Structures are given as C-alpha cells and as structure tokens.
Structure 1
Amino acid sequence: MKKILAIAFLTLTSMSMQAQEELTWHTDMSKATDISIKENKPMFLFFTGSDWCGWCIRLQKEVFKTPEFIKWAKESVVLVELDFPRKNNQTETVKTQNAQLQQQLQVRGYPTVWFVEATKTADAKVNLNALGSTGYVAGGPQAWLSGANQIIKKK
C-alpha cells in the first residue's frame, strides 16, 4: 500500500511540476497586443500547421517544450500561435485573423516565427513593427534561442 501511495504522490508531483511549466500561447492578436504593450515585450508570432507540418511539430518538441525555451519565453516575449490546421476546427474570426497576418508578413512556409513590436496610435489603431523572422533551426534550444535573441535585440 505504501508503494502505491508513493507512486501516486510522485506521479501527481511530476504532473504538477509540468503544469507549472506550461506556457500561455495566445490566439487572439488583440489580447496579445495589449499584453505586449503593457509588459513592453515583443510578440512572438508562431505560424504553424499544428496537425500536419512535420517541421512545426519537430520545432515544438526540440525547442518550444524545453525548460530553456520556457524560461526564456516567460521573460522575453508574448507568445502567439497562428495556426493553419487541416483537421482541427477554428472559428472564422481566428481563420481570418491568421490569414491576414500571414499575408501582411508574407509568410510562405511553416514553421515561421516573426518577432514584432506592437504600438497603438492615438485613435487605437495597432501598428506592428517587424523585428525579424526565423524558422526551424537545427541544434536544439541553445542554437534557436541564440538566433532569436539577436532578432529581439533590434527592439
């Protein structure tokens, strides 16, 4: 009985630790823009085909789900996922928003990550200043974050 309780405790502790390491990926640009401006952080726009793009899935596994990336992202950027799934359903609002941003930033392939700085004008119009973009980079989180840091230093 003690072994079962010990295993249950360890499992729950492990799940709790993983839950604490979860990142918030926004899908609403308006909300993400407000947070970005408030926190004075650039937005990290991740253009992905989450349910079909092999390189997108690989980038998530090799970089975005690592402790190094999670720590960096929480401190450095506001994460926005702009997904173009083939099987998963999305609202028309999200589809339209993602397509407009894809066109605006001229995204031609996946995965693409754009770093942008958001500002609002006096009449509440949002302007996005593109800092730079990247995609899949071999070499794990250190290699990927090195390139990302060079881009956001332009801010």
Structure 2
Amino acid sequence: KAKSDNKFLLLDFTGSDWCGWCKRLNAEVFSKPQFQDYAAKNLVLVELDFPRAKSQTEEVKKQNMQLASQYRVEGFPTIVVLNADGRKIGELGYMEGGPEAFIAAIDKLRKG
C-alpha cells in the first residue's frame, strides 16, 4: 500500500497498556487531528503492540517480535520510518512539542 500510494511507512512499536511514554505519544501526537490529517496524506501507519494485559494471537505476537528484531527495537516507543520502497530512513521516539514537532521530524527524514 505504501508503495502504490507513494507514502512513507510509520511503524509504531508500542506497549499500549503499560508504557507511559507510548501513552503520551498517542495522546499528544497520534490522536490529534493535525497529525491524523498529515498522516492520511503522507503516511501508512502500522501499530506493532507489545501489551502486557491485552491478549493477542500467537501470529500477531510472532510477527511483532520478528519486526522488532529486524529493526533492532530496544525500547518503547520506537517509531521506525520507511520510505515507499521499504528502506529504513530513520527512527523516532517520544518528543515534546506535539504534532508540530513530530511532523517536522518526519518531514526532515522524508527530505533526507
């Protein structure tokens, strides 16, 4: 989908039910209309969750662990940014400044 739409891929490695910084990133950036509008035009968003209390199928757990290993994710949240061809162009984490700061960081990666 990212390639056909020429969009960048945002892989959100998160611990949605236990990671405080993940919850803040979601509340301060991902849930905001400004970011959602930007994402709809420019990104394909993929949440890769590593919950402690929520249940997941073994297939989903295995897929998420495989991707975390592939991209060497060592902490949460880790946001891996891929270009339309699937090549990793950068990595982000929680940052202050809301949607504006996060969008600026993504744009900087997109422009190389």
Normalising by structure 1, we get a TM-score of 0.69
Letter in 2 for 1:140: G
1:21-60 CA distances to partner (integer Å, 9 max, x unpaired)?
xxxxxxxxxxxxxx11211111100000000000000000
Give the Å deviation of 1:117.
Answer: 2.7
Q: Which residue among 8, 13, 24 is the counterpart of 1:47?
A: 13
- Unmatched runs of 5 consecutive residues or more in structure 1: 1-34, 120-127
Q: Of Structure 1 and Structure 2, which has the larger fraction of its residues in helix?
A: 1
In 2, Cα distance between equivalents of 1:106 and 1:81 = 16
User: Equivalent residue for 1:79?
Assistant: 45
In 1, Cα distance between equivalents of 2:62 and 2:84 = 19
Q: Percent identity?
A: 47
Q: CA RMSD in A?
A: 1.1
Is 1:132 the equivalent of 2:90? yes
1:98-146 CA distances to partner (integer Å, 9 max, x unpaired)?
1011011111110110111354xxxxxxxx3101010001111111111
In 2, Cα distance between equivalents of 1:44 and 1:37 = 13
Normalising by structure 2, we get a TM-score of 0.95
User: Equivalent residue for 2:110?
Assistant: 152
User: Equivalent residue for 1:7?
Assistant: none
User: Equivalent residue for 2:100?
Assistant: 142
- Unmatched runs of 5 consecutive residues or more in structure 2: none
CA contact (8 A) 2:8 2:83 kept: yes
User: Equivalent residue for 2:74?
Assistant: 108
In 1, Cα distance between equivalents of 2:83 and 2:12 = 14
> Number of paired residues?
112
- Tell me which structure has the larger Cα radius of gyration: 1
